[in-house]
Amino acid sequence: MQNQDYDYIIIGSGFGGSVSALRLAEKGYKVLVIEKGKWYKKDDFPKSNWNLKKWLWAPKLRWHGIMKMSFFRHISVISGVGVGGGSLVYANTLPVPKKDFFETGSWKNLEDWENELKPHYKTALKMLGANKTPVLFDGDLALKELAENIGRSNKFSPTNVAVYFGEPNKKVPDPYFNGRGPERTGCNYCGGCMTGCRHGAKNTLDKNYLYLAQQLGVEILAENEVVDVVPVQINGGNSYEVYYQSSTKLIKRKKKSTAKGVIFSGGVLGTIKLLLQLKNSSLPNISNQIGEDIRTNNESLISITHLKGKKDLSKGVAIGSILDTDKDSHLEICRYSSGSGFWKWTHLPYTTGKIPILNILKIIYNFFKTPRTYIKLYFVKDWAKRTATLLFMQTLDSKIKFKKNKIGVLSSRITSGKKPRVYIPRASELAKKYAKIIDGRATVFALEPLAGIPSTAHILGGAVMGEDRTKGVIDKNNRVFGYQNMFVIDGAMISANPGVNPSLSITAIAERAMEKIPMKK
């Protein structure tokens, strides 16, 4: 007979895992968080995205950065890695979705979600230190002009972002948690949010939820990846053995900890990959719906490079403004800091066709038609300073499925509806108008025109809510069907298309799930 090492083990330290860690600790539980990425302090982040070793996560290359790129047949995915998960690399934006999000998808009849989540959105905004962007810069002002041009100036606004503005570069004691949090530094609008904030202005999870959780005794084990979760009986009760090993060392030695409960919070790619693996071994009762209902925000990422004039499109926070282009769609301007031009060499000129071979022919034809313009695109001085990336998102649904193929690798399949699209006419139309405003040319990630594979930074679903195990993987309180004290609390739980950046919604739903767990006796 033995006792558990912990009350709860949380797999992943992103928005769901961080909320869970703090709220469980406040209720008296002993908690361990296991994170496969590294601890990054502000001085550890790369100065630009040319420092691939610190920016990208590719352990086989000995790169242990904060952003991971994953490629599937139907989608390319950008996700975050490290203590704080996606908060390290995301663009800070915290919008509340429109009504459709709460009334569609597999969760629609389980609760009155819009009203149920209202207090939790409020808590999440406070905890994440949300503020309206106080200053608009060249990229945002061009979006504002676009809004006026299409007759929707009243639908343009600064973003609500997780950034401490204060006075630029000025350090102050914790302004959020009555002195219990770390000191902060006022934002200097360098645009470096998505390579990791080197100034201490970005309200990443290690500065709020995780920071406060550690003060209550939560242990955070970085650079380790969970490989197995095994149900066991300890003192006559249901518990779990959690096995993990180093994610950064060449020599892997498996270790074990036990807990009464387990929370999967590794993001869609981490959680779904692990649960698909465990369904075939130690957790066979996982619903057959695992891996189903994978969504994106049906988005398009188009970069517009300013070839003439002196606009500085790198200035500002990562996303400083948003435009509701119609009832189903949104447009935001993304930026990187001056000097971060790595993306340039992964882009090809934007084409509007659906057939890859025709896109290639168009690119070749246009190059010989205007060679000087194309050469300027790739040899422009300081690409990030000259480039704004348009992030177009829709609430319209398209779904895929993740499963393990014959050799055990995660792969994508089309299920219901249309597959995620590369060419979205409305996005193309808006990109042309924006390019005209800043006198720029459009490019996109090369896999889009070459292979017809769209990109997303918002992969969602795969372990969605349902009224029973035939309709979902978890119930309305995030409990996994078929197991006690097991939860999924991350982007995999998102059961409809929010149509906007999902971090705030993940945080709010996590807050609600933790509210349902009683105080430790």
Active site residues: 458
Half-sphere exposure of 156 (CA within 13 A, CB side): 18
Q: How far is CA 150 from CA 86, 143, 147, 239, in A?
A: 33, 11, 5, 58
Neighbour tally for 141: CB within 10 Å: 17
User: Which amino acid is present at 228?
Assistant: D
The token pair at 149 is 């041009």
Write the DSSP assignment of 406-448 as a string of letters: TTS-EEEEE-SSPPPPS--HHHHHHHHHHHHHHTEEEEEETHH
3-state secondary structure 32-58: EEECCCCCCCHHHCCCCCCCHHHHEEE
| Cross-strand partners of 225 | 245
User: Which amino acid is present at 112?
Assistant: D
Write the DSSP assignment of 177-192 as a string of letters: TTT-S--EEB---BS-
Q: Is 97 helix (H, G, I), strand (E, B) or coil?
A: coil
User: Do strands 237-246 and 255-264 pair parallel, antiparallel, or not at all (unpaired)?
Assistant: antiparallel
Q: Is 515 helix (H, G, I), strand (E, B) or coil?
A: helix
Q: Are 45 and 198 in contact (CB under 8 A)?
A: yes
